[in-house]
Amino acid sequence: MQQQVSQFLEFVTAEKRFSKNTRAAYQNDLSQFREFIEPKMNGGGWPGVNRGLLSEYVLSMRDRDYAPTTVARKIAAIKSFFGFLSDEGVVKEDPTEDLASPKVGRPLPKYIGFPEIELLMAQPTKKGATPEALRDRALLQLVYATGMRVSELVSLDVTSLNMEGALVRCMGKGGKERIIPMHSQAVDAVRAYLEMGRPTLVRGSTERALFVNQRGQRLTRQGFWLILKQYAKDAGVKSKITPHILRHSFATHMLRNGAPLRNVQELLGHANISTTQVYTHLTSDHLREQYEKAHPRAV
């Protein structure tokens, strides 16, 4: 039985171009399955595997408290393996054809409330009008105003801005460009940084980056994360805050305030609206909370 497993692993490596990590995962999953099934086969080999034995194996994984994602991955490996055995003529019928995988729900994105956003935004102003404080205020205002990914934010150049039109141009995944409007507070913060903060930080260099560090070089993702982490600590915000949580917060707050789903999809740069729809679950929860607070019979 191990011989067929080895042949399958060679096949997925040579023909399917699976990575070393994927091959290792398949090898581990199939070895575990073989060790479970082999003692029950009485030398019958893979053609003797039936739906009952498969169900028994799936139940054994559940008894061991495997996460649904793990069970789903292992079932996928077994189904691929039996598809290979069927194509090779080792088995006449594929016993995994109707074998169902557990449903793996997409986790809801985490976000923070608007009061926490306000606390966060207020922190750079407390540090006065230093170049770093002006930069940080512009950073926070811009990322929450646009919902940009942190990689998009730190990739901005000065030429990405249209200050008169209150617009910013960013390059998203797959090199897709999108134009995002900025609200007035973000425009004011960015303008103050451009006029009074950035010139001091770049020290007359020809750096194109919009946001730079203390050495006048383009700010990195890690640099922004550290800045955000410190301001969250200063604000006393107990909720975990990351650059991506700010993006989730932007989307959630926009939808709760009536923005059409298609518009939010365009602002976020999602290729498929199904990716954006996950935020509607959050807004539905909010609607339920408000309904139960307001309706006289919702007790």
Which residues are marked as active site?
A: 149, 173, 244, 247, 270, 279
What is the CB-side half-sphere exposure of residue 229 using CA atoms within 13 A? 6
The greatest distance separating any two alpha carbons of the chain, rounded to the nearest whole angstrom, comes to 80
Distance CA(178)–CA(274), nearest Å, equals 19
Q: What is the C-alpha radius of gyration for the chain, rounded to an integer number of angstroms?
A: 27
